């Protein structure tokens, strides 16, 4: 028992995060030694391709990974020019002549270490190594299959672009650059993961971003000790202020380049991860979960109505089951008379208590949602239909669950999809409020609600209060929170995120 407790304490013991520091081995000037080193490193890789050639009497080799390059470009853009060119310089200057005069490919670079050379090979580069040179020439001729730009599946808008991010980080950078045609738009690249060597790109506007937020983000990213980074969610706990211990996320996420561009103009930073069709956005505040691109395409009065609807839907999804259980168990007199008679007769006809019944329906709903989400689409539709029939009709007719309880859970579940980015905390909070309401009544719901409110108010994202501009209050920023003012008002002043009240970064721009 003590060993188990000791192991658990070791796992959760907080320790200093140390970044992975990679060593670099210089490339050998002898071609055979360099090729032997590469063959040893890729000893079990069948997709490694090495083509030995001779350039002006000097031995050379072209190294690449099969199916990661465009073979036609390799033949026409590298092999043909290199082998058919007339060389004027000596053997020692052969490398510089090929780099400056022979090859006309746009993306070329010289590397001096085996580690960088191998990383470029695995990224879709063709590497030209020449005997007698202690460096290699990398040529970008990527040709691996990738998904084309299409409409985002999760972040859908009625009025707006149908383009969404894809898995290629270079394509995502282009989608942002097309919308922000300004030299102030900056892209900074870095590599994370000792094993995966995943490329991370930071996007920001140099004239609006806070230099302190930018530097803090870079430091936190460099300290990430992960061996592999396969999705953006790997990074979130390491870049949040509280280390990811809150129910609510301190980093936003979006699949839409136009949404990301709007955030960049407010002083935020987007983090693009190669292989991920979405972008992380920091700093992030709670009010942004209730905003969408359609709000700025519709009239102000309708956008205000939909935002109020979203806030109400979030409160309903979180509080409704808990309030229903607490009132039905401890304070039934607060229901209207006709409703009370229906609820009382329903409870009397079912074998379970109201609290257990509500928790059971919530649990079954989460099972059906997860099954429909993970299964193939045709089967997912079948699971939804069968689950609706079984839970919605058969269980009620059999007297296992009550119709009012099923109605409350159904309304709560539907409301949680109005703000899909908050579904994860909503699902957990529904269970917590239901248990608190069943054990302690309305006071239990009030205590849990106060704890959640304190957690929200105490949270920050890169020193920006999570609940701003509601608290601390900002009249200027509040025009785009619950109420969406017209464009004639919004265009008068564009407030950046570091200018929100309660931050220590006010006015700090690069």
Burial class (CB in 10 A: 0-12, 13-18, 19+), 419: middle
Cα–Cα dist 310/322, whole Å? 19
- Cis peptide, bond prior to residue 472, ω within 30 of zero: yes
Residue with tokens 């490919």: 105
Cα–Cα dist 202/281, whole Å? 10
Helices (H), 42-134: 71-73, 80-84, 94-97, 114-121
Lookup: tokens for 179: 């919308």
- The pLDDT profile of the chain, 510 residues, written as one tens digit per residue, is 556 566 556 555 555 555 555 667 888 888 899 999 998 888 878 888 899 998 888 889 999 998 888 888 888 888 888 888 887 766 667 888 888 888 877 688 889 898 888 888 988 889 999 988 888 999 988 887 777 888 887 777 877 788 899 988 989 999 999 999 999 999 999 989 888 888 899 999 998 999 999 999 999 999 998 889 988 889 999 999 877 788 899 899 999 999 999 999 989 999 999 989 999 999 999 999 998 888 888 888 899 999 999 999 999 999 999 999 999 999 888 888 888 888 888 888 888 889 999 999 899 888 888 887 777 766 666 666 666 666 777 777 777 888 889 889 989 999 999 999 999 999 999 999 999 999 999 999 999 999 999 999 989 989 889 998 888 777 777 788 888 888 777 777 667 777 777 676 654 554
Cα–Cα dist 137/144, whole Å? 20
User: Distance from first CA to last CA of the chain, Å, rounded?
Assistant: 54
125-130/58-65 β-pairing: antiparallel
The half-sphere exposure of 246 on its side-chain side, counting CA atoms within 13 A, is: 24
- Cis peptide, bond prior to residue 125, ω within 30 of zero: no
- Return the domain boundaries, the chain: 31-140, 169-295, 309-458
Cα–Cα dist 172/163, whole Å? 10
* Among candidate residues 136, 96, 93, 130, the one with its CA nearest the CA of residue 113: 136
Cβ–Cβ < 8 Å for 73, 143 = yes
DSSP 3-state of 95: helix
Going across the sheet that includes 108-111, the strands are 48-55, 58-65, 125-130, 136-140, 108-111
Lookup: tokens for 395: 């269980």
Cβ–Cβ < 8 Å for 465, 448 = no
Distances from the Cα of 32 to the Cαs of 24, 35, 39, 59, in angstroms? 19, 5, 10, 9
Residue 261's pLDDT is what? Answer: 93
Cα–Cα dist 371/384, whole Å? 9
Cβ–Cβ < 8 Å for 362, 426 = no
Residue 62's pLDDT is what? Answer: 92
Cα–Cα dist 249/285, whole Å? 9
Cα–Cα dist 208/212, whole Å? 12
DSSP 3-state of 13: coil
* Among candidate residues 241, 285, 240, the one with its CA nearest the CA of residue 465: 285
What H or E segment, with its residue span, contains residue 385? helix 377-389
Which DSSP letter does residue 287 get? G
Cβ–Cβ < 8 Å for 204, 509 = no
Residue 77's pLDDT is what? Answer: 85
Cα–Cα dist 235/223, whole Å? 11
CB atoms within 10 A of CB 368: 19
Distances from the Cα of 321 to the Cαs of 38, 197, 353, 388, 423, in angstroms? 62, 46, 14, 19, 15
């Amino acid at each position: 028992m003590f060993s188990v407790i000791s192991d658990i304490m070791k796992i959760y013991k907080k320790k200093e995060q140390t970044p992975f520091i990679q060593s670099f081995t210089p490339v050998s000037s002898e071609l055979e030694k360099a090729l032997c080193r590469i063959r040893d490193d890729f000893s079990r890789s069948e997709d490694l391709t090495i083509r030995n050639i001779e350039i002006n009497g000097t031995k050379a080799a072209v190294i690449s990974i099969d199916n990661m390059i465009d073979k036609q470009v390799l033949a026409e853009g590298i092999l043909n020019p290199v082998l058919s060119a007339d060389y004027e310089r000596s053997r020692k200057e052969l490398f510089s002549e090929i780099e400056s005069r022979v090859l006309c490919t746009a993306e070329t670079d010289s590397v001096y270490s085996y580690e960088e050379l191998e990383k470029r090979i695995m990224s879709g580069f063709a590497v030209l190594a020449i005997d007698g040179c202690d460096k290699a020439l990398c040529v970008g001729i990527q040709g691996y299959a990738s998904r084309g730009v299409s409409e985002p599946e999760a972040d859908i808008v009625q009025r707006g672009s149908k383009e969404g991010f894809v898995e290629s980080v270079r394509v995502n950078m282009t989608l942002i650059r097309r919308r922000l045609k300004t030299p102030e738009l900056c892209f900074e690249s870095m590599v994370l993961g000792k094993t995966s060597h995943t490329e991370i790109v930071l996007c920001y506007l140099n004239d609006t971003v806070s230099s302190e937020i930018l530097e803090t983000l870079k430091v936190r990213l460099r300290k990430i000790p992960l061996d592999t980074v396969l999705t953006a969610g790997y990074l979130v706990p390491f870049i949040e202020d509280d280390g990811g211990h809150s129910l609510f996320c301190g980093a936003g996420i979006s699949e839409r380049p136009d949404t990301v561009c709007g955030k960049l103009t407010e002083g935020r930073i987007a983090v693009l991860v190669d292989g991920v069709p979405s972008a992380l956005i920091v700093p992030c505040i709670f009010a942004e979960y209730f905003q969408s691109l359609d709000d700025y395409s519709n009239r102000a009065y309708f956008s205000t109505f939909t935002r109020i609807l979203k806030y109400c839907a979030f409160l309903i999804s979180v509080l409704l089951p808990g309030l229903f259980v607490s009132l039905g168990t401890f304070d039934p007199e607060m229901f209207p008379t006709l409703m009370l008679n229906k609820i009382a007769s329903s409870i009397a006809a079912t074998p379970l208590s109201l609290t257990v019944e509500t928790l059971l329906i919530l649990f079954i709903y989460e099972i059906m949602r997860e099954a429909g989400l993970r299964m193939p689409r045709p089967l997912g539709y079948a699971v939804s239909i069968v689950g609706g029939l079984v839970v919605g009709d058969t269980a009620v007719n059999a007297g296992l669950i009550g119709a009012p309880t099923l109605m409350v859970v159904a309304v709560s579940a539907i409301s949680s999809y109005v703000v899909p980015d908050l579904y994860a905390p909503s699902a957990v909070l529904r269970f917590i409020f239901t248990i608190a309401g069943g054990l302690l009544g309305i006071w239990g719901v009030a205590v849990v609600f106060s704890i959640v409110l304190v957690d929200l108010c105490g949270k920050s994202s890169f020193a920006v209060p999570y609940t701003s501009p509601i608290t601390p209050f900002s009249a200027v920023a509040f025009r785009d929170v619950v109420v969406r003012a017209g464009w004639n008002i919004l265009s008068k002043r564009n407030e950046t995120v570091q200018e929100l009240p309660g931050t220590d970064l006010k006015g700090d721009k690069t």
